[in-house]
Amino acid sequence: MTSLAADLPNDPDLVAAWRQGDEFAATQLVRRHGAALGRYLSSGGADSGDVEDLVQETFIRAFRSLHGWRQDGSFRGWLFRIASNLLKDGFRARRGRQMVALEDHDLVASADPASQFAADETAERIQAGIAALPRLQREVFLLRVEQGLEYAEIATALDTTPGAARVHYHHAVRRLKELVQ
């Protein structure tokens, strides 16, 4: 019995197929990685109205420069690196001003008002803390926590080393714990 995952082509095979003119391979790569890129960009501070455009721009840049993917890291990590650069470009264009929307989607279902207030207050402190982290710490934290990437993939995405990614993650977690306690 074969698993469904074993039947699906891997990213390097899809990239090779796209290079040979298979448009369906590009569609598969977008389907496979688009949602994760959107979550990363949104969490990284992109305006909700711009996320779809940024995902599209990430794939446009990726497909134009596939020769730059050396396959020494994951394709997804490489995409996150491109998306990270787009975020940095946008950040520079806004001259450091960053708006972070707070959402009420993590509300406690049947909590009393005092518990609800405490949960909301904690969520706001965490969101503000994430926004206040230095850029590299914030990006490492979001890639690790929200996307579940390993340190090697984070290192590829952010052009750093796995050891440096671990250190940035550790510092980010420590700062956020201080805010919550």
How far from 98 is each of 47, 51, 133, CA to CA, in Å?
9, 15, 12
Choose the final residue of a domain: 65, 97, 129: 97
Task: Tell me, yes or no, if the pTM score tops 0.95.
Answer: no
Task: Give tens-digit pLDDT for 139-178.
Answer: 899 888 888 888 888 888 888 888 888 999 988 988 888 8
Tokens of 34: 């688009």
Structure tokens at 74: 């994951």
In angstroms, the CA 138 to CA 100 distance is 13
Instruction: Provide the residue range defining the domain that includes 148.
Output: 109-181
Q: Say yes or no: 84 and 22 in one domain.
A: yes
What pLDDT does 47 receive? Answer: 78
CA 62, CA 110: separation in Å to the nearest integer?
Answer: 45
Q: Is residue 36 part of a domain?
A: yes
Domain shared by 79 and 118, yes or no: no
- Identify whether residues 35 and 88 lie together within a single domain: yes
CB 84 within 8 A of CB 139: yes
Instruction: Report if residue 121 sits inside a domain.
Output: yes
Do 60 and 127 lie in one domain? The reply is no
Q: 90 and 129: one domain? A: no
29 and 86 assigned to the same domain: yes
Q: For position 167, which CATH number holds?
A: 1.10.10.10
Cα 179 to the chain's mean position, in Å? 23
Arithmetic mean of pLDDT over the chain: 80
Quick one: 90 and 144 in the same domain? no
Instruction: Give the whole-angstrom CA distance, residue 98 versus residue 73.
Output: 30
Q: Do 131 and 71 sit in the same domain of this protein? A: no
Q: How far apart are CA 27 and CA 29, in angstroms?
A: 5
Query: Do 138 and 158 meet the contact criterion of CB atoms below 8 Å apart?
Result: no
83-121 pLDDT per residue, tens = 988 888 776 666 544 455 555 555 555 556 777 777 778
Given a cut of 60, is residue 80 above it in pLDDT?
yes
